[in-house]
Structure 1
Amino acid sequence: MGSITLKAVEKWFGNAQVIKGVDLEVQDGEFVIFVGPSGCGKSTLLRMIAGLEETSRGQIIIDGADMTAEPPAKRGLAMVFQSYALYPHMSVGENMGFSLKTAGASKAEIAEKVGHAADVLRLDEYLDRRPKDLSGGQRQRVAIGRSIVRDPTAFLFDEPLSNLDAALRVEMRYEIAKLHQTLAASMIYVTHDQVEAMTLADRIVVLQAGRIEQVGSPRELYDRPANLFVAQFIGSPKMNVIPAGAYAASPQGAVHLGVRPEAIGLTAEGGDLRGVVDVTEYLGADTYLIVDCGEAGKLTVRTDGTTDLKPGQQIGLTISQAPLHYFDADGQRV
């Protein structure tokens, strides 16, 4: 089992409230990702679940038991930090089995559990090496392996890939996705990278200023954002937002119109809007155009990588009807 429930959880540092009444249920075996801008409280919330930060108010329930006041050691959770925190003088196998050794486990039990974790993470051939002889991705796998041997109730990841370069992050995203499939364990993962959130999560929790803005699957958040903040935070490049009346008739109460970059087409003549290409960003299969549309603002358009448009050229934009998003003056979905 690995269910985790937060009930009206709050965190105060003196007079400053950083977590503001969070309610959330994580089901057994679910992969949930906390995402949001820097300072939104996602790492603080994770540390509260782990017991590394005291909960000011509310309850943290793990597998039906109230663990709010319990120390980390009694919560049955394993945490993987941003830093690998490996012992440099120990081998990979010794690092992975150290927590079991300090808990008094037998050599046979340690060898069995370290061997299983090494097999899952494809670290078998590295067990006798020191951390300095490993790549960043391999070190992160060792840190994850150190958690696996403890057979925890759930895994907590605090931005585990932020120290890796772009290629290794892609590789480790795959590794973590496969790990979740193999272990079928509950995982809560913190990141500021919405690409990680979209590719890994069963459900995403979008946080802003200590509050949950929306919870849902990646597709739900992308297709039906609850408000303007979620609409622009989820998706890369972010959603274009223009005045609701700049394009066509809009629903009652709508002030802002949101359009994804891929919902905008190009035309040489006519179009729903006219503009001038300001910047082109070539990415191989895709090219992103930043188009200055005057009063409607600058819009990002996702187009085919073969486009030969250049800055300064005038073009027309056509807006697809189906994926439009309308928001009121407070930024809430209409």
Structure 2
Amino acid sequence: MGSIELKGVEKWFGSAQVIKGVDLKIEEGEFVVFVGPSGCGKSTLLRMIGGLEDISRGALLINDGDVTDHPPSKRGLTMVFQSYALYPHLTVGENMGFSLKVAGVPKAEIQEQVAKAADVLKLEPFLERRPKDLSGGQRQRVAIGRSIVRDPTAFLFDEPLSNLDAALRVEMRYEIAKLHQNLKRTMIYVTHDQVEAMTLADRIVVLEYGKIAQVGAPRELYERPANLFVAQFIGSPKMNILPCTTRDGAYHLDNGGSGGFPLTSEATKVGIRPEHIEIADPGAGQSDGTIEVVEYLGADSFLIVDCGSDERVTVRLNGDTDLRSGARIGMVFPPDKTHFFDADGQSMTE
């Protein structure tokens, strides 16, 4: 069992409220990622679940039991931090089994648990090494192994890959995804990295200033964002947002674009993702613009297009495009890929 439920959870530091009434149910075996900008409260919320921060108001339930006032040791959870926090004078095996040793677990059982964890994480060749003899990715695997041996109800990860370089982050994402498949345990993962969120999560919880902006599967958040915040936070490059008005049963871009397809609701913003924009001749689409910069990334090229009125649109094309800076182009916004938002920033797209 490993279900976790937050009921009206709040966190106050003096007169400052940083978590503002969070309700969330995490099912057994689910991989849930908390994501959001710096200061949104994602790490604080994780620490509240782990018992490292008190819950000011509300309740925390684990396997339907109220553990709001329980200390961390009584919650059956384990945390993996961005800092490996390994003992430099102990071997890998000793580091992984240290918590069991402190708890008085028999030596034979410790060795058995360490061997199992080492097998899952492919650490068998390194059990007699010291942390200084390991790479960053191997050290992080040791930190994860230290958590596995405790056989926790759920794993809590607080930006565990932020100290690794780009190549190691890719490797460790794969390791964590495989770990979840093998262990089938509940995992809650905090990150500011969208790629980690999109590739690892069963569900993503997008936090904005201490509140949940939207919860859903990665595809749901990408294709049907509930508001402007989620629309621009999920996706890289982010969704293009342009001001618009609605009149005569259609929307019209404030930069003079034609809009051109029916819309009866009062939208104030139109959104389109970079890869959904189609290139056309000037005057043939919803907006015209001049290419300012072409960013070549190999498989993809990004066009940064000046649409006037200080508005720029990013267009994602195949890397072999022959378009160059200074070219004048038209841009078509396919109706089924276009998003509309009202004056409050809420999605109007069905």
With the shorter chain as reference, the TM-score category is: over 0.9
Match of residue 296, structure 2, among 259, 282, 289: 282
CA–CA separation in structure 2 for the residues paired with 1:29 and 1:156: 13
Deviates more, 1:292-301 or 1:19-28: 292-301
- TM-score, normalised to structure 2, is 0.94
Indicate the RMSD between aligned Cα atoms, in angstroms. Answer: 1.0
**Alpha-carbon separation, structure 2, partners of 1:93 and 1:314:** 63
Post-superposition shift, 1:321? 1.7
Aligned to 2:144: 144
Q: Partner of 2:127 in structure 1?
A: 127
Partner of 2:217: 217
**What is the aligned partner in structure 1 of residue 311 from structure 2?**
297
Instruction: Tell me the SS of whatever aligns to 2:179.
Output: helix
For the residue of structure 2 that corresponds to 1:90, the secondary structure is coil
What is the percentage of aligned positions where both structures have the same residue? Answer: 70
Give the distance between the partners of 1:200 and 1:169, measured in 2 at CA. Answer: 12
| Equivalent position amino acid for 2:277 in 1 | I
Larger CA deviation: 155-164 vs 273-282: 273-282
Q: Whole-Å Cα distance in 1 between the matches of residues 294 and 162 of structure 2?
A: 28
Partner of 1:32: 32
User: For 2:94 and 2:263, how far apart are their aligned partners in 1?
Assistant: 63
Structure 1 CA distance for aligned equivalents of residues 201 and 49 of structure 2: 18
Match of 1:167 in 2: 167
Q: Does 1:322 align with 2:336?
A: yes
Q: Is the 8 A contact 1:242 1:296 kept in 2?
A: no
Deviation by residue 1:115-145 (Cα, 9 ceiling, x = unmatched): 0000000000000000011010000000000
Q: What secondary structure, in the 3-state scheme, does the structure 2 residue paired with 1:105 have?
A: coil
CA drift at 1:68: 0.5
Question: Is contact 1:243–1:296 with CA below 8 Å preserved after alignment?
Answer: no
Match of 1:253 among 241, 266, 273: 266
Alignment correspondent of 1:263 = 276
Aligned to 1:92: 92
Structure 2 counterpart of 1:77, which letter? Answer: L
Where does residue 313 of structure 1 map in the other structure?
Answer: 327
User: Given residue 321 of structure 2, which amino acid in structure 1 is its aligned partner?
Assistant: T
The reply on whether 1:22 has 2:36 as its aligned counterpart is no
1:70 corresponds to which residue?
A: 70
Partner of 2:205: 205
- Structure 2 counterpart of 1:230, which letter? V
Alignment check: 8 A CA contact 2:282 2:328 kept: no
What is the Cα deviation at residue 268 of structure 1? 3.8
Alpha-carbon separation, structure 2, partners of 1:268 and 1:304: 18
- Count of paired positions: 334
- Counterpart AA for 1:121: L
Q: Indicate the residue corresponding to 2:227 in structure 1.
A: 227
Moved more, 224-233 or 303-312: 303-312
- Is the Cα contact below 8 Å between 2:51 and 2:71 reproduced in 1? yes
Q: Deviation per CA, 1:39-86, whole angstroms, max 9, x where unpaired?
A: 000000000000000000000001111110010000000100010000
My pick for the range that moved more, 11-20 or 320-329, is 320-329
Q: Which moved more, 1:212-221 or 1:275-284?
A: 275-284
SS at match of 1:25: strand
Counterpart-to-counterpart distance in 2, 1:162 and 1:66: 32
Cα distance in structure 2, aligned partners of 1:73 and 1:143: 18
**How far off is 1:296 after superposition?**
8.0
Instruction: Give how far 1:271 is off.
Output: 2.5
* Separation in structure 2 between the aligned mates of residue 253 and residue 33 of structure 1, nearest angstrom: 34
SS in 1 for 2:278: strand
How far did 1:267 drift? Answer: 2.3
Range 67-76 or range 263-272, more displaced: 263-272
- Aligned partners of 2:323, 2:132: CA distance in 1, in Å? 48
Could you tell me which runs of 5 or more consecutive residues in structure 1 were left unpaired when the two chains were aligned.
Answer: none
Report the AA paired with residue 261 of structure 1.
Answer: P
Structure 2 CA distance for aligned equivalents of residues 271 and 241 of structure 1: 20
Residue 275 of structure 1 contacts residue 315 of structure 1 at CA under 8 Å; is this kept in 2? yes
The 3-state SS of whatever aligns with 1:322 is helix
| Aligned mates of 2:231, 2:131 — CA distance in 1 | 41
Contact 2:303 2:314 in 1 (8 A): yes
Moved more, 308-317 or 96-105: 308-317
| 3-state SS, counterpart of residue 294 of structure 1 | coil
Name 2:156's counterpart in structure 1: 156
Aligned residue type for 2:327 = Q
Residue type at the aligned position of 1:109: E
Listed as ranges, the gaps of 5+ residues in structure 2 are 245-251, 254-258
How far apart in 2 are the matches of 1:107 and 1:198?
41
Give 3-state SS (helix, strand or coil) of 1:138's partner: helix
